[in-house]
Amino acid sequence: MTSEVVLLDTYVSGFGMRARIALAKKVIQYESKEHGLSNKSSILVRMNSVHKEIPILIHNGKPVCESLRIVQYIDEVWKDKSSLMPSDPYKIAQARFWADFIDKKVLLASESAYHFEELNLNFELIVMLE
Ligand SMILES: N[C@@H](CCC(=O)N[C@@H](CS)C(=O)NCC(=O)O)C(=O)O
């Protein structure tokens, strides 16, 4: 299947890392587009108008949002390559449990820390300018 795959991402993103790992494991060629989050580009806003977040996988011009949905999509589209998910239902349940844990306890915590740091820097800048 010939297809055009683009990943809108930022290298510090753990959510983006999920999509990058899935693409690497399936050995899929793609174009990576780095996006800073302080100044969101029009393509980012257009492709994920609901959340305005990265990562976004754009496959033949159509966006897929949310990192876990992206991993699932990659697994379903490139079925000819070995599956990203185990076949045993118990192992699937375990994989989903840990994905949820990583979302809630790791990635969202690091995201909050990043924004806190950003707020702190802005605050220090304001104090310096005053
Ligand atoms: N639930 C989303 C979370 C994605 C997310 O939080 N992305 C962050 C970057 S790591 C983002 O784009 N944040 C937008 C912002 O900071 O304004 C996913 O799994 O893809």
Rounded Cα–Cα distance for residues 32 and 24 (Å): 12
d(CA 80, CA 31): 21
Whether 8 is in the pocket of ligand 1, judged by its Cβ within 6 Å, is no
Distance, CA 123 to ligand 1 centroid (Å)? 23
Ligand 1: does its nearest atom lie under 6 Å from the Cβ of 99?
no
Task: Specify the pLDDT at position 96.
Answer: 96
For residue range 55-80, list pLDDT tens digits in order: 999 999 999 999 999 999 999 999 99
Please give the backbone phi and psi of residue 58, each rounded to the nearest 5 degrees, phi first.
-110, 115
Q: Is 37 in the pocket of ligand 1 (CB under 6 A)?
A: yes
Mean pLDDT across 120-125? 65
State phi, psi for 64 to the nearest 5 degrees.
-125, 125
Q: What pLDDT shows up at residue 121?
A: 64
pTM, rounded to two decimals: 0.85
CA-53 nearest atom, ligand 1: 12
